[in-house]
Amino acid sequence: MFYRSRHESSEAVELINKGERSKPLPGGQQQRLALARGLLACQDKEILLLDEPTSSLDAITELKVYRNILEGFSDKTIISTVHQLHLLALFDRICVFDKGRLVEVGTLAELHASSTVFNKLWAAMEEASRTKTAEASV
């Protein structure tokens, strides 16, 4: 997803331009295209702000995209909103909001050890995952 060389960047731009002239893309592909454009535009910036850039992607693709972004922009500050808690292990610091207010800041381990709000969110995610797995096996 992240393009390191000028050659790869120009190939990405060419694919973007081709995509605009063809049939409409499915939601996940549209989102990846928008993200690619944004990443190409901010390669020289010090801070990246990402607002759920992978919300239309499946969990495996989402994880791959985030890993590529974090690797490609390892010298930058990345601030991202996520609702999929499995991504939190990728980040150095996590801010937990409750009803629009910042209630906790810490690493994943620190939040697991001390945050009631965070642990409730984590438990809800695990329950949803178990329910989804159980429904899929029926």
Give all domains of the chain, ordered by start, each with its CATH number.
6-136 (3.40.50.300)
Q: What gap in Å lies between CA 120 and CA 6, rounded to an integer?
A: 45
pLDDT at residue 1 greater than cutoff 80: no
Q: What is the pLDDT of residue 87?
A: 92
* Helix ranges restricted to H, the chain: 6-21, 27-41, 59-72, 108-114, 116-136
C-alpha–C-alpha distance, residues 107 and 77, integer Å? 16
Question: CB–CB of 18/33 below 8 Å?
Answer: no
More confident: 67 or 15: 67
- pLDDT, tens digit (0-9, with 9 covering 90-100), for 40-93: 898 899 999 999 888 888 888 889 989 999 999 999 999 999 888 889 999 999
The whole-angstrom separation of Cα 40 and Cα 5 is: 11
d(CA 73, CA 87): 16
Identify the band that residue 2 occupies on the pLDDT scale cut at 50, 70 and 90. very low
